[in-house]
Each structure stands twice: as structure tokens, then as C-alpha cells.
Amino acid sequence: MTSAARLDYDVVIPTHGRDLGMLRSTLDSVRGQSLPARSVIVVVDGNPAAAEHLRRTEPDLDVLVTERPVGAGVARQRGIERARAEWVAFVDDDDLWAPRKQQVTAEHIAAHPGCAAVRTAFWTFTTPGSGLERVSELRAELVGATVAELESAAEHAAQLNDMRYLDIEGHSLALMLERNRGVIGSSVVRRSLLQSLAPVPEGVRPGEDHLLLTLVARHAEWLLIPERLLYYRLHPGQDTRRPDPAAARSIIRSRQLAWQRAGDRAPLPLTAYGPVYRRELRRLLWPLLRDRHLGEFARTYRAAWSLLPHVSDRALLLVPEPVVWRLVHRRRERRPAPSIQDLLGSVPDGPDGPDGGTTADA
């Protein structure tokens, strides 16, 4: 590795501190990098006992703790404020880095001097015995518990998830406003950019990762390293299609905040996103109606209006998806409706993400 491929970076890891064994696996993968970090900042979300235990047992860490549980987005912001290196790398407390991740990232940044935000492709994995095959549209590709096991499994594994949808350079803001395209654990961003952003507010969960990545896209294009250098853990709690009123309103709020803070630079108007937002919102709303949470359905439906300026889009939320699909399919036979990708040009699509992201549809 040449001196030009060095990287001055801090690592920020938010954690609840409930599963220190899993966190230590993440830390081992960070410490095992061929290009080490300047510092590793762990922000414990409202768990002083876990923070004190980490300080005693992991003296090389910079451990912070919030006074009360505030969510991963706010905890991550505390870590961003603490960082001093030129770059900040993120990883969640249940994901793992391949040993060459940061070295490859450094080489990519050296080859692209104007880069301010970069991420890699990733493998999805589950632990032995979980039985989990997919979350939303992401399929489990590997089974393992350690980096060594996952590296071995990856040598012969089929790539079941198409990572081309992460290649959004040139259209980063438009496509991040559409849906989540990436996972935060593979992301590395210039500290100066991150510290210039308005912080993600408390209470945005899920949706906080998508919001942060979108706000970055307001100022910089996301560059993609196509090599799969993150092992991204799948677990049932990531699926936002279950009936959860709080999660539904949080996802809606994250989209609203994205438009409030980044919409001034959006190359397409909010109305262009009607088809994709309809599909996402319908998937959040209809489980509430199915399980007869009528009050929550009404409140969530009303909250969604700000994302759908057209009355016709609001009305279509009240129509079952199979019916809408038939109506739209017939209309497309007469005159195809343009998607976000059509409006922007040829842009790869891909699987729905676990953070409330969707692809364009009815």
C-alpha cells in the first residue's frame, strides 16, 4: 500500500449495550483492519452500566454514553461530534467488516480526489440456526458468526442480491430521496461534511440511517466500491412491513425531514415520487387496517399527506394494492407512466432495503 492510499479515519459505533458479545465481534472486525483507525468511538444509548463495563474491559475504546435512550441516530451524532479524523466510518454493533475494507476504501479515495462520501457493496448473513431467509427484498446469502466463517462461506456463495442499485453516482440525491440505497455500516464520509449537517433528531427510528445518507447526498455524490466488504446481519426486527404505527410514522417523518432539509437541491419535484411513495406508504398503512388499528390507520394516513401533494395519490392509498396494480397496469398498456429511473435516465434498480426503502410501482 502506498502512502497515497493511507486514510485518517475514526469509527463510530452506536449500541444499546445489551449484547456485548455481538458488539465485541464487530469490534474485532474493526481492529482486524489492515489499515487501522485513529480511534474507535462507541456511543452507548442510555445504558450507563454497559458503558462502564466497556471502559473497564476495552481500554482502547473511546466510550460515550447518553443519559437516556435516544436512538441510534442521535447516538451516532454524538460520535460524529466526537470524531477528529479527516474521515468517519460507520458500522452498526451487529455487522462485521472484511479485513481489507478500509484499505480498499483508502485506495478508492486516493484514486478519486474529489470524493467526500463512499460506500461498498455488502454480503447479507444470518447466524447458524436462525432459519431467516430474507428481510423485505434482501435475501440471506451467507450463514456464519465470525468474519473467518463468513469469508469462507463467501468464497463459494451465490450473490443473491443485486448490488447495482447502490451505484447512484450522478443522481445521488434524487435516488436517495426515492428510497434507501445502501446500509450505513459500509459508509465512509468526510468529517467536515458530516459536522456541517443539521443533526438527525430524536425519535426518528426506523428511518434515521436513510435520512443521514440522504442529507449527505445533498452535498456530495455517493461513490460505490463494488467489492462486497461489509457483512450485513439480517434479523426479523428490520422488516418494516409489520403493523407498527410508531415505525410507520417515523419512516414518514424521516422522508418529510429529508425533503425539508434537502429538497431545495432535488432535481425532481416531490410530485414525481408519487408512485414510489404510494407503494411504500401502502405497505405501512394496510397492515394497520388489516389488524383493525383504525385510529392508528387514520393518523398515519393523515401524516402521509405531506408526501403526496396530489389528491389522486392520497386516494389511491385507500385502494388495495392488487386493485391499484390492475388499474395502473391497464393504464400503462395505453401510456406507460415514467418512473424515477425513467426521469433521470438509465439507473440500476435493486432490492428493497430493510429501512423502509421501496422500488417504484403502483
What pLDDT does residue 204 have?
83
pLDDT band at 247 (very low <50, low <70, confident <90, very high): confident
d(C-alpha 219, C-alpha 240), whole Å = 28
d(C-alpha 134, C-alpha 205), whole Å = 21
Cell numbers describing residue 61? 475504546
Strands 87-90 and 142-143: unpaired
Give the sign of the dihedral formed by CA 32, CA 35, CA 36, CA 41: negative
Query: On the CB side of 203, how many CA atoms lie within 13 Å of its CA?
Result: 5
d(C-alpha 299, C-alpha 84), whole Å = 43
Residue 11 has pLDDT above 90, yes or no: yes
pLDDT band at 293 (very low <50, low <70, confident <90, very high): confident
d(C-alpha 90, C-alpha 97), whole Å = 10
Peptide bond preceding 206: is omega within 30 degrees of 0, i.e. cis? yes
Residue 36 has pLDDT above 90, yes or no: yes
Cell numbers describing residue 196? 456541517
pLDDT mean over 71-96: 96
Domains and CATH numbers, the chain: 9-237 (3.90.550.10), 245-332 (no CATH)
- Least confident range of 80-84, 210-214, 333-337: 333-337
pLDDT band at 108 (very low <50, low <70, confident <90, very high): very high
pLDDT mean over 227-251: 81
Residue 325 has pLDDT above 50, yes or no: yes
- Least confident range of 160-164, 252-256, 327-331: 327-331
Residue 90 has pLDDT above 80, yes or no: yes
pLDDT band at 359 (very low <50, low <70, confident <90, very high): very low
